[in-house]
Amino acid sequence: METTDAFAGLECTDCGVTFDADEATHRCPECGGILDPTYDYDVISLDRETLSSRPFDSMWRYEELLPFRRESAVTMDEGATPLVECPALADELGVERVVIKDEGRNPTGTFKDRGQSVAVTAARQHGATDVALASAGNAGQAAAAYAGRADLESHVFLPARSSHTTKAMVNVHGGDMTVVGGRIGEAVEAYEDALAEHDDWYPLQTFATPYRHEGKKTMLYELIEQLEWETPDAIVYPTGGGVGLVGMYKGATEWRELGLIDELPAMYAAQASGCAPIVEAFEAGRDVHEPVEYPDTICGGLEIPDPGGSPQVLEALRESDGGAVATDDDDVLEAAIAVAKGEGLEMAPSAAAAASGAWGLAERGEFDVDETVVVLNTGTGNKQADVLRSHLMGKGI
Ligand SMILES: *Cc1c(COP(=O)(O)O)cnc(C)c1O
Ligand SMILES: [Zn+2]
């Protein structure tokens, strides 16, 4: 395997045993826990000037802090997304500054590209011929795209309610698609059944591969640099499985360790009320979620009733002095429309839960007037224009 100098291997987040990345590819061989890439930070010499002098051209500009070299990466220059000033939103929320990290500018229109770039690179390094996953839609589209680029076969399991665009684009990228009746749980079951029959398929499933949250941590690196090394007071993240939140929290602790920042930004998980297991666990003071029995939200990417990484998500919220907030679908869609109207930015319904969540947090007095709030726009609105438009229809517009 061709890895970067500091990459040390994989550590189990449950039992703490460490493994060579050549040998352990997915969950912990000892206990089945989630594996997390580790680095020898002593051999990384990165300072603010060095980073600032590099072209802002792709998430792979942080190569030293990723497992694989840029030259061997399966990449389409994902990342390096803009951080857009949103003065109207700042006025509404009553804070000094709101910026939206616009992940809609990624190759397939969502931040899932960051995770799949690293995970598909790992698949190729491990000699895989086929990759597979179940997804609400966006991760499946991203996987099909990166697998195509790496000349791997992809097998994508989607629930019937996935958006038209993601299904169409899995086909367009040459992926083998199975549409499963029901919701994400049924798609995961179908995927697991198929995986049991194909032991040569390389899983790209959330937290099954150690590399998806690893790719997403680069969002944190970027936004700190874009804020000219000011640590924001709050980051509001639309949370399903919480992969991006866990990644960004890791990114912040790494940069603190490297002396690039002094403190951690407060991380907030925003969920849809129809499926908010993280919010419920946070408010109840629990370390792990309880599965939601009847999940129901229009935010497909957030309809994750049984998020396997909830202990990591909850730890990130508590350790960073953040919090959690749930808002109703109607408010989510209203927020998407308000941001599109007032700022011009197009947010997918799932992503807009971060905007309505920020509103909710502001209303309950979570932010001070002099604060800087970052809202993650995890996916572009035009992938689900039909959902946003029909919300207007419901209002007689
Ligand atoms: C997948 C997805 C999410 C949720 O991401 P997690 O990291 O699983 O919490 C949010 N928004 C969009 C647009 C997504 O595609
Ligand atoms: Zn373990």
For residue 291, the SS3 value is coil
- Give the ligand with the smallest distance to the CA of 35: 2
Confidence of residue 44 (pLDDT cuts 50, 70, 90): very high
The radius of gyration computed from the CA coordinates of the chain, to the nearest angstrom, equals: 20
From residue 343, how far is each of 101, 210, 396 by CA, in Å? 13, 36, 23
Q: Which residues pair with 225 in a beta bridge?
A: none
Residue nearest to atom 2 of ligand 1 (CA): 301
Q: Which residues pair with 238 in a beta bridge?
A: 270
What pLDDT digit, counting tens, does each position of 80-105 carry?
999 999 999 999 999 999 999 999 99
The predicted pLDDT at position 199 comes to 95
Please tell me the distance between residue 378's alpha carbon and the centre of ligand 1 in angstroms.
6
What pLDDT digit, counting tens, does each position of 193-214 carry?
999 999 999 999 999 999 999 9
Percent of the chain with pLDDT over 70: 100
Torsion of CA 118, 175, 102, 204, to 10 degrees: -40
Ligand 1 atom with the smallest distance to the CA of 137 is 15
Ligand 1 atom with the smallest distance to the CA of 247 is 7
The predicted pLDDT at position 254 comes to 98
From residue 389, how far is each of 340, 346, 395 by CA, in Å? 12, 12, 10
Residue nearest to atom 4 of ligand 1 (CA): 240
Please tell me the distance between residue 338's alpha carbon and the centre of ligand 1 in angstroms.
20
The predicted pLDDT at position 177 comes to 98
* Residue 96, burial from CB neighbour count under 10 angstroms (0-12, 13-18, 19+): middle
Neighbours of ion ligand 2 (CB under 5 A): 12, 14-15, 28, 30-31, 33
The predicted pLDDT at position 78 comes to 98
Confidence of residue 220 (pLDDT cuts 50, 70, 90): very high
List the end-to-end C-alpha distance of the chain, in Å, as a whole number: 56
The predicted pLDDT at position 130 comes to 98
For residue 197, the SS3 value is helix
What pLDDT digit, counting tens, does each position of 263-300 carry?
999 999 999 999 999 999 999 999 999 999 999 999 99
